[in-house]
Amino acid sequence: MMRLNPVFSRLKKRTKQGLGLNICICGEPGKGKSRRGLRIGELFDLNGFNKKKVVYDGEGLIKFLVEDAKKGDCIFWDENIGSEATSWYTDTNKAVKRSMNIMRKKGVVFIQAFPSLLDLQSGCRRLFHIYIEPMDFFPLDDGYLCKVMQMQHNPQNKITYFKYFKIKDPKNPKKRIRVHRIFIKTPDSKELTDYYESESEKEKDNIHVKNLDIIRKDNENKQKDWRATLDIDEDVMTVLNNTDIFISIFNGKKYIDKAKIQNILNKGESTAKRIKKAVESRINPKILQKEGS
């Protein structure tokens, strides 16, 4: 059986005791986050890590937890592009957050890859216990030296503290030394790596398709807004050229009367509202000055 480094040995002992663990792996694209996540899955999974335990979205995560998860399992959520902090307020991620809260009781190790902790809404960072960041790649040894730290959360000031692990000094058992880096190699399973590469490319292609759809819809909305402006432009000019007809007074204050726009120009309420708003943005403020001022 392969001997783990002291830090991972301590963490695996925790999983053997039936306690869950939430691990986040952060780093720029191409820094080896995903392979480190797969490797940790291989090391920590008590039931045998496989491709079914690699998910790419919140739905896949919850589905696995409901249908397949057993105590001692590892689940790796590879978020290729990352999620904005604000997305953690969506209903999907609220559901993920609730599930993360109970993973410890289920005895499941949850691993998630992010470009940066800034991609996590601050209230969700407290759900993670371990922070891993790939630093230096060693091609001959096929792995990365990684920063590994404990994440400790203070509920009073709502601050997350990062602390290096301390282990016994081999030369002096009475001393404890900080562990600043741990070497994590690539996954042993070629089948798992090949599967990840294939699925990852599909997910990235899906992201491009979704982004293209978003851009197209945004352009369509811009075109609608532009046409909508043209639709009312003639009416806006009519009001601007005949302001006395469309102005009413309340408590001595002048204002563009939406009801008059509706009646005189024969417009619906929503169109009259748009015309009123456009007129107010273009009218000379002196025209609407309070009487006597």
From the centroid of its chain, how far is CA 186?
A: 26
Instruction: Kindly give the pairing relationship between strand 21-26 and strand 54-55.
Output: unpaired
pLDDT digits (tens, 9 = 90+) for 99-155: 777 676 778 899 988 888 777 766 677 888 999 999 988 888 888 999 999 998 888
What is the rounded distance in angstroms from the CA atom of residue 154 to the CA atom of residue 98?
19
The reported pLDDT for the residue numbered 23 is: 93
Q: How far is CA 194 from CA 51, 114, 191, 249, in A?
A: 10, 21, 5, 74
pLDDT of residue 47: 92
> Following DSSP, what letter does each residue of 196-240 receive, concatenated?
HHHHHHHHHHHHHHHHHHHHHHHHHHHHHHHHHHHHHHHHHHHHH
**pLDDT tens-digit map of 179-228:** 989 999 988 888 888 888 887 777 777 767 777 778 887 777 666 655 55
Residue 149's pLDDT is 94
What pLDDT, on a 0 to 100 scale, did the predictor assign at position 41? 93
For the chain, the average pLDDT equals: 82
N-term to C-term CA, the chain: 90
In this prediction, residue 56 carries a pLDDT of 81
pLDDT in tens, 68-108: 888 889 999 886 444 444 455 566 667 777 777 767 677 88
Give the mean pLDDT of 264-291. Answer: 86
Q: How many CA atoms lie within 13 A of 70 on its CB side?
A: 6
Q: What share of the chain is helix, strand, coil (3-state, %, to 5)?
A: 50, 25, 25
SS3 category, 133: strand
Please choose, from the candidates 146, 142, 145, 149, the residue with its C-alpha nearest in 3D space to the C-alpha of residue 128.
Answer: 149
Q: Which long-range CB contacts under 8 A does 101-104 form with residues at least 24 apart?
A: 101/127, 103/20, 103/22, 103/65, 104/19, 104/20, 104/21, 104/22
**Contact assessment for residue 188 and residue 42, using Cβ atoms and an 8 Å cutoff:** yes
Is the confidence at residue 263, as pLDDT, over 80?
yes
How many CB atoms neighbour CB 87 within 10 A? 14
> Which residue did the predictor score with more confidence, 164 or 60?
164
Distance, in Å, from the CA atom of 291 to the CA atom of 248, rounded to the nearest integer, reads: 12
Instruction: Supply the pLDDT for residue 85.
Output: 47
User: Residue 82's pLDDT is what?
Assistant: 42
Instruction: Using DSSP, state whether 81 is helix, strand or coil.
Output: coil
pLDDT, greater one: 64 or 88: 64
- Does the reported pTM lie above 0.75? no
- Owner of token pair 């290729």: 80
Q: What is the pLDDT of residues 218-260, one digit of tens each?
A: 777 666 655 555 678 889 999 999 988 999 988 888 899 999 9
Instruction: State the average pLDDT over residues 7-27.
Output: 87
Q: Domain segments of the chain: what residues?
A: 6-201, 220-288
Angle between helix 33-44 and 190-241 (nearest 10): 130
Q: What is the DSSP letter of 154?
A: E
Q: Is the dihedral of CA 236, 240, 241, 246 positive or negative?
A: positive
DSSP-derived pairing of the beta strands 182-185 and 143-154: antiparallel
Class of domain 6-201: alpha beta
In this predicted structure, the answer to whether residue 31 has a pLDDT above a threshold of 80 is yes
Q: What's the rounded Cα separation, in Å, for the pair 130 and 136? A: 19
Q: How far is 152 from 155, CA to CA, in rounded Å?
A: 10
Asked whether the predicted pLDDT for residue 51 surpasses 50, the reply is: yes
Supply the pLDDT for residue 232: 87
pLDDT level of residue 45 (50, 70, 90 thresholds) = very high
